[in-house]
């Protein structure tokens, strides 16, 4: 048999051997997943109730959305399930359209996440202003906290159909006379227990594996059950939970309702994308790994999760920062942790579903209030208020206030818009063109010392330096600066211009023509290659004339006759425009 040619052999790439996870790593990830599952159980129940869904929906969401997101996502660490971030939006959906709208919103948001994946919109996250993220995150926390007051105090008689924040708060205040002291005291005890437990764990490290939320849920539920305290529980509000595997169904699909839910689904999908990618970035940083998440694949995984979850009785879900952090802190290194978390939640739901009914509603409210406190991050808000520039306060607090009082989607849009306006204000304050004049040391700092000396000797020429972005934001000032001088020859140094848009090109073209009309010669020097191509295509180089375009400023000076001037040689132009010789 003939040997294959050498070229064919070199083209064959050896396959990478399949890497199996060591048993020790498997064990660590399984333990991490169980710990996260314990953390997720009370949160899944509480978050489902917070949006108006039955508690079993939250558990099914953690199980199915969590499992499929871990399988198909682009991060090894993220844990998916019901999240506090979605509560304000989903609450409004339930108020307007009923709880039956949640599966439709989830599925439609999942499809929209596929669209974001196709257009690689995950990359846009890095352009989200940090203050907007801080503001709407704090606003979400406040919205959750305010929304739990009624359950925490056991206020009765309020109108659940009130949509706006001020209406809900006023309705709540009017019914405070219905509060009995037993329920608030139970809630306060649960909050104190959750806040104090980390200090106990510092003294007793063996108790680190018991999450504060899980401890509060079990301890207070047992106390209420055995002492027989009269307070609303999950069973009295929602009945007993089914202790069985959910049957897949599409009964929730309603085409008429689907059309009405398009705006809400878009808002939920955007928030899912933002929260998911924020969580993935946080997870990479917390894990301290150089292997980063894949943003596009992570959005795809969330899309799959939100299409599958409604089929099994779930509600919209996204990546959860706190649960993801808990997984990493307990040793998670792979998707196995997230999958184990999902399997654990489903197993516990089937095995212990009947026991969930004994959980007091005020404990679930207490858990969400503590979660909201951590989301708000008051120390970070105080730091921003003290250290951030005053104009940034507008972005931060307007985003926060709009999130709480109006709508999260409007808050993000308003925050980004205000950020852009403030950025534009800063950009317009920067000089787009400045006259090249010596400083207090007698040196023109933008050029070499020798070229500076030559330029200062040529009083018969006007020297200007164009810089930054010549765009719509700077065009007016650019034109004003270059048209207010006399008719001496103008050398416009363009080495520091990184980009010029159509408005900038139109402005430069009008400047050239206006000065030429007055009999002034215009010369361009040290043009960057990309800018050079834009000038050529727009016809500015033709208007200026090839005899007025130079690789360096020294060459332009040399071209303006002046018998008494000292001229630097052409080989010294590199100090002014290194690598720009081909631009002429």
pLDDT digits (tens, 9 = 90+) for 50-97: 899 999 999 999 999 999 999 999 999 999 999 988 988 899 899 999
Predicted local confidence at residue 573, as pLDDT:
38
- Identify whether the C-beta of residue 95 lies closer than 8 Å to the C-beta of residue 163: yes
Question: What is the rounded average pLDDT for all residues in the chain?
Answer: 84
Lowest mean pLDDT among 16-25, 227-236, 549-558: 16-25
- Identify whether the C-beta of residue 493 lies closer than 8 Å to the C-beta of residue 483: no
Predicted local confidence at residue 343, as pLDDT:
96
Structure tokens at 379: 């120390």
CA-to-CA separations, 482 to 301, 383, 435, 540, in angstroms, rounded: 54, 43, 9, 16
10 confidence band (pLDDT: 50, 70, 90): very low
Q: Can you tell me the distance from the alpha carbon of 101 to that of 253, in angstroms, rounded to the nearest whole number?
A: 9
Structure tokens at 23: 């048993």
Q: Can you tell me the distance from the alpha carbon of 397 to that of 381, in angstroms, rounded to the nearest whole number?
A: 9
569 confidence band (pLDDT: 50, 70, 90): very low
Predicted local confidence at residue 300, as pLDDT:
95
Summarize pLDDT for 350-409 with one digit per residue, the tens: 988 778 888 898 998 898 898 888 878 788 888 888 887 888 888 888 888 888 887 766
* In the chain, where the domains are located: 23-420, 433-583
> Using only C-alpha atoms, what is the Rg of the chain?
32
CA-wise closest residue to 435 among 459, 419, 408:
459
Residue 227: how many other CB atoms lie within 10 Å: 7
Angle between helices 378-387 and 361-376 (to 10 degrees): 30
297 confidence band (pLDDT: 50, 70, 90): very high
3-class secondary structure for 211-228? CHHHHHHHHHHHHHHHHC
* Coil/strand/helix, residue 380: helix
Beta bridge partners of 233: 360
Q: Percent helix, strand, coil in the chain (nearest 5)?
A: 65, 5, 30
193 membership: H or E segment, kind and range = helix 182-203
429 membership: H or E segment, kind and range = helix 408-429
Summarize pLDDT for 327-356 with one digit per residue, the tens: 898 888 999 999 999 999 999 999 887 788
* Helical residues (DSSP H) of 207-334, grouped into ranges: 212-227, 234-238, 255-260, 262-287, 295-311, 321-329
> Can you tell me the mean pLDDT for 204-215?
83
Predicted local confidence at residue 374, as pLDDT:
81
- Identify whether the C-beta of residue 526 lies closer than 8 Å to the C-beta of residue 551: yes
Predicted local confidence at residue 33, as pLDDT:
92
Q: Can you tell me the distance from the alpha carbon of 286 to that of 551, in angstroms, rounded to the nearest whole number?
A: 49
How many residues comprise the chain? Answer: 584
Q: Can you tell me the distance from the alpha carbon of 72 to that of 299, in angstroms, rounded to the nearest whole number?
A: 9
Q: Which fold has domain 433-583?
A: Transcription Regulator spoIIAA (3.30.750)
More confident residue, 445 or 3: 445
Summarize pLDDT for 414-465 with one digit per residue, the tens: 888 888 888 777 776 667 777 787 877 788 888 888 888 888 888 888 898 8
User: Which residues are CB-contacts of 128 (< 8 A; sequence separation ≥ 6)?
Assistant: 274, 416
Q: Can you tell me the distance from the alpha carbon of 83 to that of 310, in angstroms, rounded to the nearest whole number?
A: 16
């Amino acid at each position: 048999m003939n040997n294959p040619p050498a070229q064919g052999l070199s083209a064959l790439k050896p396959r990478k051997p399949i890497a199996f996870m060591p048993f020790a790593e498997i064990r660590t990830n399984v333990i991490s997943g169980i710990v996260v599952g314990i953390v997720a159980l009370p949160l899944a129940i509480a978050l489902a109730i917070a949006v108006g869904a039955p508690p079993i929906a939250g558990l099914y969401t953690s199980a199915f959305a969590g499992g499929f997101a871990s399988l198909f996502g682009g991060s090894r660490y993220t844990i998916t399930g019901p999240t506090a971030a979605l509560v304000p939006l989903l609450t409004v959906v339930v108020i307007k359209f009923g709880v039956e709208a949640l599966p439709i919103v989830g599925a439609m948001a999942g499809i929209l996440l596929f669209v974001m994946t196709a257009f690689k919109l995950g990359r846009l996250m890095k352009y989200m202003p940090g203050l907007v993220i801080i503001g709407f995150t704090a606003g979400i926390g406040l919205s959750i906290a305010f929304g739990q007051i009624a359950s925490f105090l056991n206020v009765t008689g309020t109108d659940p159909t009130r949509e706006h924040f001020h209406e809900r708060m006023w309705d709540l205040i009017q019914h405070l006379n219905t509060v009995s002291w037993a329920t608030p005291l139970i809630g306060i005890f649960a909050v104190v227990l959750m806040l104090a437990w980390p200090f106990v764990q510092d003294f007793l490290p063996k108790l680190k594996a018991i999450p504060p939320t899980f401890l509060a849920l079990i301890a207070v539920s047992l106390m209420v059950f055995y002492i027989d305290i009269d307070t609303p529980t999950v069973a009295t509000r929602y009945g007993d939970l089914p202790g069985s595997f959910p049957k897949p169904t599409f009964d929730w699909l309603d085409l008429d309702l689907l059309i009405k839910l398009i705006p809400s689904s878009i808002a939920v999908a955007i928030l899912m994308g933002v929260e998911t990618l924020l969580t993935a970035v946080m997870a990479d940083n917390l894990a301290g790994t150089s292997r980063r998440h894949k943003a596009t694949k992570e959005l795809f995984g969330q899309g799959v999760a939100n299409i599958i979850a409604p089929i099994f009785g779930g509600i919209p879900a996204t990546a959860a920062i706190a649960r993801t952090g808990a997984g990493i802190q307990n040793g998670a290194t792979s998707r196995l942790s997230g999958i184990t978390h999902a399997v654990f939640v489903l197993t516990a739901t089937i095995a212990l579903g009947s026991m969930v009914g004994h959980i007091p509603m005020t404990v679930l409210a207490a858990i969400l209030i503590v979660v909201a406190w951590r989301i708000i991050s008051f120390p970070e808000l105080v730091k921003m208020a003290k250290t951030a520039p005053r104009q940034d306060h507008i972005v931060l607090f307007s985003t926060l206030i709009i999130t709480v009082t109006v709508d999260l989607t409007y808050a993000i849009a308003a925050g980004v818009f205000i950020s852009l306006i403030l950025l534009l204000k800063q950009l317009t304050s920067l000089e787009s063109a400045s006259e090249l004049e010596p400083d207090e040391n007698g040196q023109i700092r933008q050029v070499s010392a020798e070229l500076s000396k030559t330029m200062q000797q040529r009083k018969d020429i006007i020297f200007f330096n164009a810089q930054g972005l010549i765009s719509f934001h700077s065009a007016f000032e650019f034109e004003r600066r270059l048209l207010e001088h006399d008719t001496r020859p103008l050398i416009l140094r363009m080495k520091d211009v990184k980009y010029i848009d159509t408005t900038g090109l139109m402005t430069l073209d009008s400047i050239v023509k206006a000065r030429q009309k007055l009999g002034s010669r215009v010369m361009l020097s040290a043009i960057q290659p990309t800018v050079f191509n834009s000038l050529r295509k727009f016809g500015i180089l033709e208007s200026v004339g090839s005899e007025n375009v130079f690789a360096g400023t020294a060459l332009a000076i040399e071209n303006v006759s002046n018998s008494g001037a000292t001229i630097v040689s052409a080989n010294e132009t590199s100090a002014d425009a290194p690598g720009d010789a081909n631009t002429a």
